[in-house]
Structure 1
Amino acid sequence: MSLGFYFDVTRCIGCRTCQVACKDRRDIQKPGVRPRRVESFETGTYPQVGMFHVSVACNHCESPACVANCPTLAMHKTVDGVVLHDDARCVQCRNCVTVCPYGAPQFDDEADMIVKCDSCYELRKGGMNPTCVDACPTRALEFGDIDELRRQHGTDCVSEIPVLGTADHTHPNLLVKPNGAAVSPSFAKVAL
């Protein structure tokens, strides 16, 4: 079993509630450090234009680059495939920050520590959902067994979209239900 996130682009309104809830639960004060990030993109030219939002965190990859390149084993996978960070083992070398293609591990210089999504590991041990999942007002996020999520949401889900790059190397445990704009190879990030 591998656990991961399902994200429905067609439902996301870019409100960033998942992002705020994640920072709040983790008590992250540093601006710019966001274990879950929502970014907005536009595609096309008039009159054929599109816009979409992407909510992304750690994808708890099958072959995580952060784990493979961590010299102290601070980055490690659990038996259910979740990638965790052990603060006590970390020497802040930032290899994980450099090699992750999704920008999941981030260095918080105020805390002097690597910060990343842990899928709310402690909450889930208590039978709860990750904070981002419960915070989403449009229910665009889900977390669970990736095979079960694939069965539940059908064959139109993908593990990569152009704004996230290729899934060939790390094999993310991420399912995305894209809209038409999200599959466009030509996009521009916008600030809202």
Structure 2
Amino acid sequence: MNLRLFFIFILPFFMLLACVDEKKEVVLEGETSADTQVEIEVEIDDNEDVPDSIESNNQQNETKEQDDAHTTEIEMKNDNVSDQLLENEAFRIEIPTQNSIVSTGFIVQGQARVYEATVQYRLLNESGDILTEGFTTASEGGPYWGDFEIIVDWVDNGDTSGTLLLFEESAKDGSEQHALTIELTFE
């Protein structure tokens, strides 16, 4: 057998069989040394044995389709929340919303894009006195968005309203950066 014939026709055919995609149809195009284009098309009958790697690819594609459907569902749910979402360049707060009625132990949930993932918070009463303050760590540090949750506890002094302040502390001078203010009513 001519070695040239082997490399032009036979070897690509075997390579083709090894590279069958999930559609079970492959087109191989190439050029021979005589600048003649060669096109080989192979279809595998569904009744034939399919290599495990192809079955694995099909399962991965089905899983990806399910994930895509789930992502679309989540995006649709998030579209409904976006009207109430409080946000600035560093914070996206899902709960509480502006003017929410809260009691001690309320939860703050959201995302932050802050230095070293450190989210600072301070709860003030209507007179501006600090009721509680602290920090938590988001799941990711800036420049990425990281999820966080804070449980805000304070001693109830009979105050009827207050302000939750979320901010990032400057690494340079300790000043408050990107402050987000949420007005609250206490029950």
TM-score above 0.5: no
Higher strand content, 1 or 2? 2
Bin the TM-score by the shorter chain. under 0.3
Which structure would you say has the larger RCO, counting Cα contacts within 8 Å and 6 or more residues apart? 1
Please identify the structure whose Cα radius of gyration is greater: 2
Length-normalised TM-score, structure 2: 0.21
Length-normalised TM-score, structure 1: 0.21
